[in-house]
Structure 1
Amino acid sequence: MQKILVIDDDTDICLLLRRFLGRNGFEVAIAHNGTSGLEILTDFKPDLVMTDFRLGDMDGGELLVRIKEQFPHVPVIVITGYSDIKIAVNVMKQGAYDYVTKPLFPDEILVTIRKALDQSTAQPSAPSVNGEAGSSTPAPKRPTGSEQYIFGNGPESKYLYRQVDLVAPTNYSVIIYGESGSGKEAVAQEIHKRSKRSSGPFVAMDCGAISKDLAGSELFGHEKGAFTGALNQKIGHFEQAHGGTLFLDEVSNLPYDVQVSLLRVVQERKLRRLGGTKETPIDVRIIVASNERLIESAKKGKFREDLYYRFNEFSIDVPPLRERNADILVFADYFLQATNGELGKQVRGFADDVVDLFMRYEWPGNLREMRNVIKRATLLTDSEAIQSRDLPFEIVHFNKLQSMETNTPPVTPVYVPEIPVIPPQTYYSEPPVSLVAPDVPKGEKPNLRSAALEAEYDMILKTLKQVNFNKSKAAQLLGIDRKTLYNKMKNYHLS
């Protein structure tokens, strides 16, 4: 029986998931905060973890990192709200398998869990976090005949297709730039499939999801006894990719000392496993990806400049979805047909208002976000076409939300008590003074200075009355300090 650990501070959601997943043949453990979840994790050894992003003692990003440090290859599904789409994108970059959004829909959860577990169990056994054999390891991701990257028909897609077509037959190293979720790995797979290495393996490694202590072992492998817990020999990703292509996603996240070893392997085309003495020749094409410019990372000291120049034989920019309007409906239809196949449904397309919403939305999560939106909408809809009611709030109300962000100036509320106007004699022990400021000689012809002084006198007097002669409040409303106010009151005989 496969095990699932659910971490959520909402007891109702925990009970719901325990009953539902239990009825579907899973053994479920529950934790109500991140700390207890990490404690249960060690003993329970789950096949999959589901965690809410917003927990009482830590956020999902921190918890995800700590889970991956102990069990780097256990898939983690993050539960989040649709208002947290950008957060969901970030946790995907940190190594989460996928995310589901509230409100939770049992069928959607079950499909996502089974896909994650199928992918996990399909992987060959390999060393765990301590290097021990028999536990799961990241499987080399190999393209199959059913996998196909949809380039679209727009000018951006045609230019991207032309670049892939040009570089694929060569043996160049390639850097692929693009935002998270834009399809960088799919482009790398296309390059591999069109290359002379297409019959060889395509091995993908997410450098952002691997613990810093394990990155060297994952890349180069290790010998038995190389470090504490290395009980068996391990074949690294370079050797797995021999004769094919190695794809390093978010390569700038590799530790600096691993970058030094990587540079040597790239230069010499030979590697030595950790703790080993024998050098093994390798024949691997390297494709790397990053969501930030590697030359900028090099200037910040985060990435070796010499390694950047080794990789930069050819570079490709994958445009974000918001810049590919001509292709939005192409991608939407592709994801709809794929979801129909998964769910066994016959949703034919999208209502006109949905098409309009898709074209106006900015898609911060790019293709990954669109896929998840359409999966959810297809599950929810009871019509032949997806309706706007099936879409998340931030897509339906995108224009209103944008308007609120850009057009509403920040307002600092100031409390001014409503006080009835009280006759002047309440405030003065002597008759009221003339409206003309005392330092302006009487009988002098009116000028700009005297007009300014009269206006200032009126403003001060009006404000003092408004706050019942509370000088601190008056100074605050007038935007001056108390000392300045006292001096002006003295000049105008108001003290």
Structure 2
Amino acid sequence: MIKVLVIDDDRDMCLLLKKFLERNNFEVTDFISGKKALSWYEENMPDIVLCDLRLEDMSGLEILQKMKSTNPALPFLIITGYSDVRSAVEIMRHGAYDYITKPLFPDEILVTIKQALANGEDVKHQPAKTTTVRVKENADTAAADIEFMHEDYVVGPSQAFQQILKQVKLVAPTNYSVIIYGETGSGKEAVANEIHRHSKRSKEPFIAIDCGALSKELAASELFGHEKGSFTGALNQKTGSFELANGGTIFLDEVANLSYDIQVSLLRVVQERKMRRVGGTKDIELDVRIIVASNEKLWNATQEGKFREDLYHRFNEFSIEIPPLRDRKEDIMHFASYFLRVTNKELEKNVSGFSPEAVYALNNYVWHGNLRELRNVVKRAVLLSDGNTIELKSLPFEITNYEKINEFIPAQPVRNNNVLEGAAPEGQTVAKHPVKSGNLNLKSASIDAEYETILEALKQVNFNKSKAAKLMKIDRKTLYNKIKEYQLLNNK
């Protein structure tokens, strides 16, 4: 029986997940304390972990890092609210498989757990988070409208991306090292694969490594391999990612996360095209094209002492910058339609498209998680849809009410000492609801005040609806009904 570890400081959430997963033949252990969960984890090895992003005694990131240090292949899922999607996406850089947003839905949980478990089995037989990415051309589009298909996302025909395509075609036939800049989830790996696909190395391996998921202790072994007996636990010889990529292309995502020691070893590989396994005595000749990616400018990282300047200059033979999804509005529905097709097949549903209201909401939301966030939103909407189209009611509250919520956010962050203690984390904003000129309708004012109170409570607890209900001294059902009511009001 598959063992699941659930960590959430909301007792009701733990109980809900435990009962549901046990009904689906999982063995479940749950904790409301991160420290107690870690203590249990040291003596018990679960098959998968579901962990809340924010716990009272420690963060989900801390738990992830400690667990991954002993078991890099552990499938780890983050539970979060939509207000924390950006943080959840960042945690995926450190090895989390995916995130699940609250409120939780049974079918979504089961599908995500099964995918994470299947991915975990693949990782056990591969170095770190190594993948060979499939990239296809859409035969139904013109050459200028090439779609990049990378398992979970598609990059479409915006003018901004057409410029990237030109850069890809320019640099692909060369052996230049390339730096790809872009936010998490913006499609950096797909671009790297497209460079490989159009290069002279296209028939050789393309190996992708998520440097953010490599623990400091195992990074050298994962990249360069090791000899049997070279350190405790090295029971067999291991072939590293560079050796696997020999003759082809290696893609190092979030390369700035590599430690200084690994950067030194990497510099030798780049300069001499040779490497040595950990504990080895012989050099191995390499013929590998190196493409790296980062969500921060590597030059800035060199000035801050986080990245070697000589290594930066070796990589910076050519650079490509991918704009975030919010700057490519014309691409949003293109991606959404692709995710809809994929999810229909996955869930065996037949949702044909999006209502005009849903299209408007999707186009006007700021996608902090870029394509990955959009994918999850569409997957959930398809799951919730009971008709042939995705309606506004199937989209998350924070997306359908984004414009209204934005009205409450002041231009400058409010310091914590100006608001109630614990009201907002440092650097975040606190909602304000100014009285609109001419709006003196008492009923409307009452509704607006209630809306403001609920929104403020949700923001104070990072959109954890159970905690918000407790804060306002109402039950969860009342809060959910109020949220649905405001969604309906917003849709009129």
| TM class by smaller structure | 0.7 to 0.9
Q: Which runs of 4+ in 1 moved over 6 A?
A: 407-413
Q: Which amino acid aligns with 2:190?
A: A
Who is 1:116 aligned against? 116
Who is 1:17 aligned against? 17
1:407 Cα offset (Å): 6.5
Three-state SS of the structure 2 residue aligned to 1:49 is strand
Who is 2:407 aligned against? 403
Who is 1:82 aligned against? 82
Residue in structure 2 matching 1:189, options 186, 193, 197: 193
Task: Give, in whole Å, the separation in 1 of the partners of 2:259 and 2:184.
Answer: 20
Residue in structure 1 matching 2:176, options 160, 172, 179: 172
1:70 Cα offset (Å): 1.8
Matches within 5 A, 1:47-126: 47-125=47-125
Q: Which amino acid aligns with 1:336?
A: L
* Unaligned ranges ≥5, structure 1: 127-136, 414-495
Three-state SS of the structure 1 residue aligned to 2:208 is strand
Residue in structure 2 matching 1:235, options 229, 235, 239: 239
Residue in structure 2 matching 1:138, options 112, 125, 128: 128
RMSD: 2.0
Who is 1:352 aligned against? 356
Three-state SS of the structure 1 residue aligned to 2:149 is coil
Task: Give, in whole Å, the separation in 2 of the partners of 1:282 and 1:63.
Answer: 37
* Unaligned ranges ≥5, structure 2: 137-147, 420-492
Three-state SS of the structure 1 residue aligned to 2:403 is helix
Who is 1:438 aligned against? none
> Residues 172-203 of structure 1, C-alpha deviation per residue, up to 9 Å, x if partnerless?
21110001111111211222222222222221
Three-state SS of the structure 2 residue aligned to 1:79 is strand
Task: Give, in whole Å, the separation in 1 of the partners of 2:309 and 2:336.
Answer: 39
Matches within 5 A, 1:37-436: 37-125=37-125, 137-138=127-128, 140-144=130-134, 148-149=149-150, 150-406=154-410
Change (3 A) 1:299 1:378: same
Work out the percentage of aligned pairs sharing the same amino acid.
Answer: 57
Task: Give, in whole Å, the separation in 2 of the partners of 1:92 and 1:270.
Answer: 31
1:248 Cα offset (Å): 0.7
Task: Give, in whole Å, the separation in 1 of the partners of 2:395 and 2:331.
Answer: 19
Three-state SS of the structure 2 residue aligned to 1:28 is strand
Task: Give, in whole Å, the separation in 2 of the partners of 1:255 and 1:407.
Answer: 37
1:260 Cα offset (Å): 0.7
Task: Give, in whole Å, the separation in 2 of the partners of 1:239 and 1:26.
Answer: 39
Three-state SS of the structure 2 residue aligned to 1:199 is coil
Task: Give, in whole Å, the separation in 2 of the partners of 1:69 and 1:139.
Answer: 14
Who is 2:480 aligned against? none
Change (3 A) 1:195 1:102: same
Residues 123 and 138 of structure 1 are in contact (CA less than 8 Å); yes or no, is this contact kept in structure 2?
Answer: yes
Task: Give, in whole Å, the separation in 2 of the partners of 1:75 and 1:194.
Answer: 33
Residues 50 and 79 of structure 2 are in contact (CA less than 8 Å); yes or no, is this contact kept in structure 1?
Answer: yes
Residues 255 and 292 of structure 2 are in contact (CA less than 8 Å); yes or no, is this contact kept in structure 1?
Answer: yes
Stretch moving more, 397-406 or 313-322: 397-406
Residues 4 and 48 of structure 1 are in contact (CA less than 8 Å); yes or no, is this contact kept in structure 2?
Answer: yes
TM-score, normalisation: structure 1 = 0.78
Task: Give, in whole Å, the separation in 2 of the partners of 1:409 and 1:57.
Answer: 26
Who is 1:454 aligned against? none
Q: Which amino acid aligns with 1:16?
A: L
Change (3 A) 1:342 1:409: closer
Residues 4 and 47 of structure 1 are in contact (CA less than 8 Å); yes or no, is this contact kept in structure 2?
Answer: yes
1:139 Cα offset (Å): 5.0
Residues 124 and 139 of structure 1 are in contact (CA less than 8 Å); yes or no, is this contact kept in structure 2?
Answer: no
Q: Which amino acid aligns with 1:247?
A: F
TM-score, normalisation: structure 2 = 0.78
Who is 2:468 aligned against? none
Q: Which amino acid aligns with 2:115?
A: K
Residues 272 and 279 of structure 1 are in contact (CA less than 8 Å); yes or no, is this contact kept in structure 2?
Answer: yes
Task: Give, in whole Å, the separation in 1 of the partners of 2:239 and 2:378.
Answer: 39
Task: Give, in whole Å, the separation in 2 of the partners of 1:124 and 1:77.
Answer: 17
